[in-house]
Amino acid sequence: MLQKDEIYNNKTFKYLYPCLIELGRSFTNRLNKFVKAGVFIADMNYYTLNSCLYIVISTKPYKEELTLTQYRTDFQELLYWIKLQDFYETDYCYKEDFHIIVVKLPDYLSSSIDLFMSGEYSKIFTIEQINRYFRTVSLTNKILEKERNAEIENTRKILTKDREYTEEYAQKINGEYQTNISPKYFKNVELDKPPILSEEILNY
């Protein structure tokens, strides 16, 4: 499931990870320096009553220009800093090549994980939050920029239950299950399947 140089692209990463900007740019800027292997809503080996996200970080860099010593020194500085923050829950080693940082979501997002787990994507965020969390990006690599912005636009359509996307989703489901359900049916349902918990919870 987890790779040292590639993030695990599950629904937690798609729908919930972007809301971490609520924890401040200082946190996200620091976090972006490290190789993230995955983001999860829970770990069966660690229990908490708080609404948290579990960020799995590789303990080794993937860029040759960054030495292992410097990477790990920078990571220790991140751990020291984050333990002083109100949103810090815990951190621990995971297997041989990873370290997990657990952060608490703000109180006003405490219901987001329950809504996510039940597949009620359109109820997770307000339109203002969606506009803040899912902005298009500008990248040097224009091919990658186009792909990334297409993913963001798709996510926005699902979170807002976009009417135009309803027909596209109906075609997708009908093709996948060899059915012929009318697009009208999908006007009253969420436009993505509920998450599979084994893909969103570590050690499930």
Tell me the pLDDT tens digit for each residue of 151-185.
Answer: 999 999 999 999 889 999 999 999 999 999 888 88
User: Going by C-beta distance under 8 Å and a sequence separation of 6 or more, which residues neighbour residue 92?
Assistant: 46, 99, 100
Tokens 């200082």 label which residue?
26
What 171-178 contacts at long range (C-beta under 8 Å, 24+ apart), as own/partner pairs, is none
The CA dihedral of 116, 119, 120, 126, to the nearest 10 degrees, is: 40
Q: Where are the alpha helices (DSSP H) in the chain?
A: 11, 25-31, 68-82, 112-117, 127-133, 142-159, 163-177, 197-200
DSSP category for residue 204: -
Which of 41, 57, 75 has the alpha carbon at shortest distance from 3?
A: 57
Q: What is the pLDDT of residues 108-130, one digit of tens each?
A: 999 999 999 999 999 999 999 99
Q: Per the confidence metrics, is the pTM higher than 0.95?
A: no
Q: What are phi and psi of 89, to 5 degrees?
A: -105, -60
pLDDT in tens, 23-52: 999 999 999 989 899 999 999 999 899 999
